Amino acid sequence: MKKLLFFSFLFVSCHNFSQEALTPLQKSEYKKLTTHSELVQFIKEADDRSDLIKAEVLTKSPEGKELYVVYFSKDEFGKDKSKIKVLIFAQQHGDEQSGKEGSLLLINELLKPENQYLFDKIDFALVPQMNPDGSERDERRNGNGMDLNRNHLILTEPEVIGLHKLFNKYLFEVTMDVHEYWPFGESSKKFGYRKNYDETIGAMTNINISEKLRKISYDSYLPFIFNYISKNGYSVFHYLPGGSSGSGYQRYSTFDINDGRQSFGIQNTLSFIQEGLNGENDSTDNIEHRAKGQITGMIGLLKFSYDNKDEIKKLVSAEREKLEENKVDGQVAIQLNHFSDGTELKLELVSYSTGNDTVVTVKDFRSVVKSLYDVERPKGYLIPKSLKTLIDWADRHELKYFDYKKSADDKIEQYFITGIDSIDFEGDMVVNPGLMNTDITNQINQSDYIFIPVNQLRNNMIVIALEPKSQLGLAAYKQFGDLLKSGTNYPILRVAD
């Protein structure tokens, strides 16, 4: 009996100890960043300590390092359909270390008994480290030299493919991508002031995303999270990319759908980006404060999801159903830009000369995204079976497609590329072809094509990706540059009703 009681005590102690286990960063007294091997060991030990979590390998990096996803659920993950599913992923950029460190702190925090109520309503998946190759070298890109947060449309990198497979499996209603921003550049120093917020938060900006989801993001989540982070002792503001206000206009972040936030947002997910303040001199600068700021924002997202579970689930479900049934606006914006609505921005900055905070008024604040060019949403697209690169792309996105069989009311259109110009896209120049549209309904061999219908969850993404004038489309990437050649037919055909 004594032995039984002794082993029972060990079992209870083991499961309660999870809340006191130290992360590798904590063990180093916040002086040494967590290595990949230390991260893996910590996750495995956390999995062993608690029945609340389950860890599994999501995929492997180009250099063979394992990416882990940690599931938090009181049941089998995803089984209870009444729960809201939340996904947070961190450190797509290897030199942005605080998201990874904050994620490991988050694991311990969520295992505390006082926080486990969250999982009465939430099934939560956490990917603490998306880019282990870059992290080990403290460099932005992965082992293939690719920027993972510019890969969510073409989907060529194993880390990003693995993340989207995870999303496709569970169709999370809420997602957040955790990064860091670096405001210490020469333009800020020349201006004399820089941004100094512990955390910055960005909501969805692409106007093809459900207006109702964008509204709850700006009207409900941002006020909530700003208040939550501030009450917990950290400064917070909107994510405004770029340098100081002395180096051009200010805007909310990109409307491009090739990053972590918008790639899920375009599927009518409530999706956010969180960018903490990076270290000025190296990635260990002030890492304790930075990591704790990141975990504060992550917990805030979970609390918001818990408090608003029913409203979010109902809204996301309804807006996704519209995509899948193609009951959405017939126009798709494929060229966009940032505009001012006349509102001036009061921006708190810190002075390089005095170290004191100051408020700068930004008159050129372009807070509104508008369409420059729309296309009529088609029934779908025809892809030549000979274009294996495009079919492979569709497979990576797990798009629904099948051999084309022409319907009586189908109208098949082909673009002819009359010339190739360029258009400004947030400071970069991308291709902008001149086009002529021709009806070729009776001129194709249907057995040569597959058909990708738009009535599926990636409805908007399909149109944005495949239209030749899209500044956000596949043709803007070197991997698909052969799609656009002046004086030739564009090989992807439109099928209209």
Domain annotation for the chain: domains and CATH numbers: 19-324 (3.40.630.10), 378-496 (no CATH)
Question: For 259, phi and psi rounded to 5 degrees?
Answer: -105, 175
Q: What one-character-per-residue DSSP string does 273-337 give?
A: EEEEEPPSSSTTTTHHHHHHHHHHHHHHHHHHHHHTHHHHHHHHHHHHHHHHTT-S-SEEEEEEE
- Range 287-292 average pLDDT: 98
Residues 434 and 432: their CA atoms lie apart, in Å, by 7
Neighbouring-strand partners of residue 333: 374
Model pLDDT for residues 122-165, shown as the tens digit of each residue: 999 999 999 999 999 999 999 999 999 999 999 999 999 999 99
Residue 17: pLDDT above 60? no
Sign of the C-alpha dihedral computed for residues 7, 56, 96 and 107 taken in this order = negative
Q: pLDDT band for 20, please (50, 70, 90 cuts).
A: low
Contact present, 205 and 252 (Cβ < 8 Å): yes
Exposure of 109 in the CB half-sphere (CA atoms within 13 A): 17
Say which amino acid occupies 415: Y
Q: Give the model's pLDDT for residue 247.
A: 62
Residues 110 and 46: their CA atoms lie apart, in Å, by 11
How many other CB atoms sit within 10 Å of the CB of residue 271? 27
How many other CB atoms sit within 10 Å of the CB of residue 179? 24
How many other CB atoms sit within 10 Å of the CB of residue 209? 25
Model pLDDT for residues 241-281, shown as the tens digit of each residue: 877 766 678 999 999 999 999 999 999 999 999 999 999 99
Three-state secondary-structure class, residue 442 = coil
Q: pLDDT band for 497, please (50, 70, 90 cuts).
A: confident
Three-state secondary-structure class, residue 270 = strand
Q: Give the model's pLDDT for residue 1.
A: 37
How many other CB atoms sit within 10 Å of the CB of residue 289? 16
Residues 32 and 162: their CA atoms lie apart, in Å, by 28
Q: Give the model's pLDDT for residue 248.
A: 76
Q: How many residues does the chain have?
A: 497
Residues 22 and 105: their CA atoms lie apart, in Å, by 8
Model pLDDT for residues 165-194, shown as the tens digit of each residue: 999 999 999 999 999 999 998 888 888 999
Question: For 413, phi and psi rounded to 5 degrees?
Answer: -120, 145
Rounded (5°) CA angle 303-308-310: 135
The model carries a pTM of 0.95
- Range 373-389 average pLDDT: 98
- Range 207-214 average pLDDT: 98
Q: Give the model's pLDDT for residue 4.
A: 37
- Range 1-22 average pLDDT: 43
Which helix (H) or strand (E) segment holds residue 339: the answer is strand 331-339
- Range 416-445 average pLDDT: 95
Question: For 292, phi and psi rounded to 5 degrees?
Answer: -70, -30
Q: Give the model's pLDDT for residue 245.
A: 65
Residue 69: pLDDT above 90? yes
Residue 16: alpha-carbon gap to chain centroid? 34
Per cent of the chain over pLDDT 70 is: 95
- Range 348-357 average pLDDT: 93
Residues 344 and 334: their CA atoms lie apart, in Å, by 28
Sheet holding 53-60, edge to edge: 53-60, 66-72, 122-127, 84-90, 174-181, 270-277, 199-202, 236-238
- Range 45-51 average pLDDT: 96
Collect all residues with Cβ–Cβ distance below 8 Å to 391 and sequence separation of at least 6: 383, 385, 450
Residue 428: alpha-carbon gap to chain centroid? 21
Residues 111 and 114: their CA atoms lie apart, in Å, by 8
Mean pLDDT for the chain overall: 94
How many other CB atoms sit within 10 Å of the CB of residue 251? 24
Residue 8: pLDDT above 60? no
Q: Give the model's pLDDT for residue 246.
A: 65
